[in-house]
Chains A and B, each alone.
Chain A
């Protein structure tokens, strides 16, 4: 069984005539260590799909399993524990807590963990080192650049060493150069075994992923995956028109 199983997820908001079906029954599997981009137009349902995968938004129907855990069969508190243990979130606008310093923001996911303060601080320093932000621990989010804020958000997402990283338009507010460096960081995290699922509009960013799920009007419109796990670096730039790709187009 795959590490992540999205099984015919349907999500409807409201009822009756006012009902809006954001996700109309999407199913796919993701293996551990994959880097998948979810692409689609605005309103296509990709962010709703990501929130369902983030254990934040109960689907109207369908099942969602991670590591054989039926996520929406868990209680609210169990789901919070699940998020803390398995997931790292990166939001489009970073959403750092403005009154906490950089290192405090990074330590946030550890705030409820039963470990020594020095241990938490050490983990936060490691995460900051990983994203290249040593020396800025004491700054407030308002005192650093957008790219640095994004790196703090990434450090916060990886500090508790989750197995899955969920990113919603992580480069939406960044310039091209900073976006590339962030994607290279993602690539580095992925090469260390972290499963990354990223919602993006940006085709260039999506090139860094090893699979693309195209969502349209609440349905999975297409799926493109690299079959060979090697030579990833050489694929960059030519991808997805590549001979090692398996492209599947669903529906009409």
Chain B
């Protein structure tokens, strides 16, 4: 018989009260876990989507010219006759320090061609990458599968009178329109897209590209660092980060996190109050019992230890169960928050450990005052309560 046995026996006997504290804490803890893991999962999902939303780094050849293009309105000044980047050089991007954060590299070759006596920009792209970098593309027909296939921007199609199945000739090469882009509101509306190798052949720019788009996964990497690393790998190129995209992503995720942590703090506070009030009630209910303990020689510290042990034990159970239930809730509700089917909620040892420590600490802190009251009960007064 030790103090711990008395505490365990008391918990067994007062199952209702212990369960009440446990449930109070469980609600708080599982809500916190659910919030955090839900936000975590959604953050990953949103980040993943944002990565898909487009490139956030642009690689251009170095030039002394200034662009006279704003909001799709071109006033001249862009020179496509500048020295292009070698396609082979793009492989060096895969060897930079943060190469793991490079989600996709989309090379593009650009050049003007004549179609029905009109000048139009022909863009050679890797359709697999470009389509992934532009999920907003909606194609009437299909993305070119063959070398002679052509994808026509909405405005270019209208101006040049091109539709599905139309055939045109560019620098002696026959191209067939396999798809027409629906209006995007971007400069893509004015372009003709074909496969990179086809465009390079038509424009006589074999092995060269005009620019490249890079999608960087930057949740845990500073995009500026990646820009520096790519610049180092491609000294002849100008590498720029589309800061608004990155900043916007970070702000969105930041808001989510703040919301989750704010709500968690509130729930934790409520959980703490539940423990405090219940433990106060329990101590009051056990006044006579504590009086007996003190009368037969227990020191105040012994009583405090017993109360804190009980609170610690319940809190520890709530910490473990709360994590499991919280993750379960997240898995249950996540389909209501995202349409992605591949969002996972893996076991997070850091979250599990933090939640366990937080719950036990919360339980103990909330029980300090009731325990102190119990330990400092005047034994004579306590026995009068008998």
User: CB within 8 Å of B: which residues of A?
Assistant: 51, 54, 56-57, 76-77, 80-81, 83-85, 87, 89, 91, 93, 95, 97-100, 104, 107-112, 117, 120-121, 124, 156, 160
Query: Do B3 and A111 touch (CB < 8 A)?
Result: yes
- Say yes or no: A89-B1 contact (C-beta < 8 A), given A51-B380, A57-B380, A77-B300: no
B301 vs chain A, min Cβ distance (A)? 7
Q: Judge if B289 is at the interface, Cβ distance under 8 Å.
A: yes
Does the CB pair B13–A95 fall under 8 Å? no
A124 partner residues in chain B, CB cutoff 8 A: 1
A81 touches B296 (CB 8 A): no
Q: Give the interface SS of chain A, mostly helix, strand, loop or mixed.
A: helix
Bound-complex Cα distance A111 to B12 (A) = 18
With A84-B298, A111-B302 known, 17 other A-B pairs at CB within 8 A are A56-B380, A80-B300, A83-B296, A87-B297, A89-B295, A91-B386, A95-B292, A98-B13, A99-B9, A108-B1, A108-B293, A109-B296, A109-B297, A111-B2, A111-B3, A112-B297, A156-B296
List chain B residues, Cβ under 8 A from A54: 295
Report the nearest A residue to B2, measured CB to CB: A111
Chain B hits for A76, CB < 8 A: 299-300
- Can you give 23 contacting A-B residue pairs, CB < 8 Å? A56-B380, A56-B383, A76-B299, A77-B300, A80-B298, A80-B300, A83-B297, A84-B297, A93-B386, A95-B292, A97-B289, A97-B292, A99-B10, A99-B12, A100-B9, A104-B6, A108-B292, A111-B1, A111-B298, A111-B302, A117-B1, A117-B2, A121-B1
Within 8 Å CB of B5, what residues of A? 104, 111
Are the CB atoms of A81 and B299 closer together than 8 Å? yes
User: Across chains A and B, which 8 residue pairs bring their CB atoms closest together, nearest first?
Assistant: A84-B297, A99-B13, A107-B1, A57-B380, A56-B380, A80-B299, A109-B296, A83-B297
B94: shortest Cβ distance to chain A, in Å? Answer: 67
Which residue of A has the minimal Cβ distance to B3?
A: A111
Q: List the A side residues contacting B6 at CB < 8 Å.
A: 97, 100, 104, 108, 111
Chain B: residues with CB nearer than 8 A to chain A? 1-3, 5-6, 9-10, 12-14, 288-289, 292-302, 379-380, 383, 386
Shortest CB-to-CB span from A117 to chain B, Å, is: 7
CB nearest neighbor in A for B301: A77
Are B300 and A95 touching (Cβ within 8 A)? no
In the complex, A171 Cα to B269 Cα: how many Å?
Answer: 50
Q: Nearest Cβ distance between residue B205 and chain A, in whole angstroms?
A: 87
Q: Looking across the interface, which residue of chain B has its beta carbon closest to that of A51?
A: B380
How far is it, in angstroms, between the C-alpha of A111 and the C-alpha of B296 when the chains are bound? 10
Contact of A112 among B13, B289, B295, B302 (CB under 8 A): B302
B297 near A80 (CB under 8 angstroms)?
yes
Query: Cβ of B302: which chain A residues have Cβ within 8 Å of it?
Result: 111-112
Shortest Cβ gap from A105 to chain B (Å)? 9
Q: In chain B, what residue has the closest Cβ to A101?
A: B9
Chain B hits for A84, CB < 8 A: 296-298
Q: How far is the CB of B218 from chain A (nearest CB, A)?
A: 59
Residue of A nearest to B11 (CB): A99
Output the nearest chain A residue to B305 by Cβ-Cβ distance.
A112
Please give me the residue from chain A that is nearest to B296 by CB atom.
A109
A104 near B1 with CB under 8 A, answer: yes
Q: Which residues of B have CB within 8 Å of A108?
A: 1, 6, 292-293, 296
- Complexed CA–CA distance, A97 and B295 (Å): 13
* Nearest opposing residue in chain A for B306, CB measure: A111
Residues of A with C-beta under 8 A to B292: 91, 95, 97, 108
Say how far A142's CB is from chain B's closest CB, in angstroms.
11
Contacts of A83 in B (CB 8 A): 295-297
Q: How far is the CA of A108 from the CA of B302 in the complex (A)?
A: 12
> What residues of chain A lie closer than 8 Å to B295, measured between beta carbons?
54, 56, 83, 89
- Shortest C-beta distance, A244 to chain B (Å), equals 36
- A109 proximity list for chain B (CB < 8 A): 296-297
Q: A83: nearest residue on chain B (CB-CB)?
A: B297
Contacts of A57 in B (CB 8 A): 380
Cα distance, A157 to B301, chains bound together (Å): 22
- Contacts of A87 on B, CB cut-off 8 Å? 297
A95 touches B386 (CB 8 A): yes
How far apart sit A57 and B13, CA to CA, in the bound complex (Å)? 31
* CB-based contact A85/B297 at 8 Å: yes
| Neighbouring A residues of B386 by C-beta, 8 Å | 91, 93, 95
- Determine the chain B residues whose CB is within 8 A of the CB of A111 once the complex forms: 1-3, 5-6, 298, 302
- Taking CB atoms, residues of chain A closer than 8 Å to B299 are 76-77, 80-81, 112
Measured between alpha carbons, how far is A98 from B6 in the docked complex, in Å?
A: 11
Chain A proximity of B41: nearest CB distance (Å): 44
Q: Count chain A CB atoms within 10 A of each CB in B297, B298, B299 and give the residue with the most.
A: B297
Chain A residues lying within 8 Å of B293, measured Cβ to Cβ, are: 108
CA distance A112 to B13 in the complex (A): 21
Query: Which of B9, B12, B294, B383 counts the most A-chain CB atoms under 10 A from its CB?
Result: B383
In the complex, residue of chain B having the shortest beta-carbon distance to the beta carbon of A97: B289
Set of chain A residues within 8 Å of B383, measured between Cβ atoms: 51, 56, 91
Contacts of B301 in A (CB 8 A): 77
- Cβ distance B102 to chain A, nearest Cβ, rounded Å: 64
A56-B383, A110-B1, A120-B1 known; A104+B9 contact, CB < 8 A: yes
Residues from chain A with Cβ under 8 Å of B288 in the complex: 95
